[in-house]
Homo-oligomer: A and B are copies of this chain.
């Protein structure tokens, strides 16, 4: 099926676009009253992501309500550890919680290398969403980067320092690589499955990139992201045709290296200067981002002014507008809508 709005796909490939496209990380979420209603009925977050009809409904909401240029499948990066054998719970206002964690070689051996079949509920949600979207906008699939998934599997929950996960890297680097390799293979199968089910592009989220030293980041994160990109791009006629976006929060120190990844776009967080990032990453990649989500607490004229400033700084080509992090739940919907409208109404003078 042809896409009626393929701006994001073209922007990701570096092709000419009539205007800068926009989507927002966590656009399907608590910022929308319509989402909160579904969430209440669903009972739990996990139930929502495991029920394709519910996941589809909230995935499409921001396309209807905010008018964004892409949908992103409503799911969670932690479905991968679950599919590998570590179930988790999402505890209200505390975040994810794993009962079992990974500490020994035996723990790693006992983990299953997941495939798309283990995650049929996400695959089904993608198929259903594609059908319901009916070509209106592209659908983005996603997965966590292996290092970020690793850090939850070892730590068992969110953490300011993830010192347990980092201790594992320093004390058992050989085992760390074994686990990262197993996560990487699972993630390749999973993203292939998403693309084959209809995802038009995918994003890899490295949420905890920023807690590693530059050297550790190269050794324990970037090489596995590279493996995923290479594996997806290698199948030239299928997954290889679809854009990949890599967003590594806080990995300012890795921007130059990230420019060499076999991917199409690099996400920037709001700490990263746009001009400097372009210089470090090079001209071949599309950049995505990078407004501070907190800016959406400001009044509408400020949001408009800052959004236009950002657009001018990125320039008319090779930019997908987004935030530098996910939307915060207490942001006003009208402010989000103002951001989206401003970006979509903006035109570069030719």
Binding site for B on A (CB under 8 A): 160-161, 163, 166-167, 169-171, 210, 212-214, 216, 250, 252-253, 270-273, 276, 292-295, 297-299, 302, 328, 330
Q: Are A294 and B170 in contact (CB under 8 A)?
A: yes
Given A163-B294, A170-B302, 5 extra CB contacts under 8 A: A170-B295, A214-B271, A216-B292, A252-B252, A252-B271
| A252-B252, A292-B213 as given contacts; A163 in contact with B328, CB under 8 Å | yes
Q: In the bound complex, what is the Cα–Cα distance between A120 and B271 (angstroms)?
A: 38
Of the candidates B166, B270, B273, B328, the one whose C-beta lies within 8 Å of that of A294 is B166
Q: Are B253 and A297 in contact (CB under 8 A)?
A: no
Of the candidates B210, B271, B297, the one whose C-beta lies within 8 Å of that of A167 is B297
Q: In the bound complex, what is the Cα–Cα distance between A161 and B323 (angstroms)?
A: 14
Residue ID in chain B nearest A272 by CB atoms: B253
Q: Are A299 and B252 in contact (CB under 8 A)?
A: no
Q: List 13 A-B contacts (CB under 8 A).
A: A160-B160, A161-B293, A161-B294, A161-B328, A163-B294, A163-B330, A166-B292, A169-B294, A212-B271, A252-B252, A253-B271, A253-B272, A253-B276
Q: In the bound complex, what is the Cα–Cα distance between A171 and B161 (angstroms)?
A: 31
Residue ID in chain B nearest A271 by CB atoms: B253
Taken together, the copies of this chain in the complex come to 2
Q: In the bound complex, what is the Cα–Cα distance between A253 and B273 (angstroms)?
A: 7
Residue ID in chain B nearest A325 by CB atoms: B161
Q: In the bound complex, what is the Cα–Cα distance between A252 and B280 (angstroms)?
A: 14
Q: In the bound complex, what is the Cα–Cα distance between A161 and B328 (angstroms)?
A: 9
Interface of A is mostly: helix
Residues of B within 8 A of A213 (CB): 270-271, 292
Residues of B within 8 A of A293 (CB): 161, 163
Q: Are A171 and B299 in contact (CB under 8 A)?
A: yes
In the A-B complex, the 7 residue pairs with the smallest Cβ-Cβ separation, listed nearest first, are A167-B297, A166-B294, A170-B298, A213-B270, A252-B252, A213-B292, A214-B273
Q: In the bound complex, what is the Cα–Cα distance between A169 and B297 (angstroms)?
A: 10
Residue ID in chain B nearest A276 by CB atoms: B253
Q: In the bound complex, what is the Cα–Cα distance between A317 and B180 (angstroms)?
A: 39
Q: Name, among A169, A213, A253, A294, the residue most crowded by chain B CB atoms within 10 Å (CB to CB).
A: A294
Residues of B within 8 A of A170 (CB): 294-295, 297-298, 302
Q: In the bound complex, what is the Cα–Cα distance between A273 and B251 (angstroms)?
A: 12
Q: In the bound complex, what is the Cα–Cα distance between A252 and B273 (angstroms)?
A: 11
Residues of B within 8 A of A216 (CB): 292
Residues of B within 8 A of A276 (CB): 253
Residue ID in chain B nearest A210 by CB atoms: B271
Residues of B within 8 A of A294 (CB): 161, 163, 166-167, 169-170
Residues of B within 8 A of A271 (CB): 210, 212-214, 250, 252-253
Q: Are B166 and A297 in contact (CB under 8 A)?
A: yes
Residue ID in chain B nearest A217 by CB atoms: B271
Residues of B within 8 A of A297 (CB): 163, 166-167, 170-171
Residues of B within 8 A of A212 (CB): 271
Residue ID in chain B nearest A168 by CB atoms: B297
Residues of B within 8 A of A299 (CB): 171
Q: In the bound complex, what is the Cα–Cα distance between A268 and B319 (angstroms)?
A: 32
Closest Cβ–Cβ distance, residue A321 to chain B (whole Å): 16
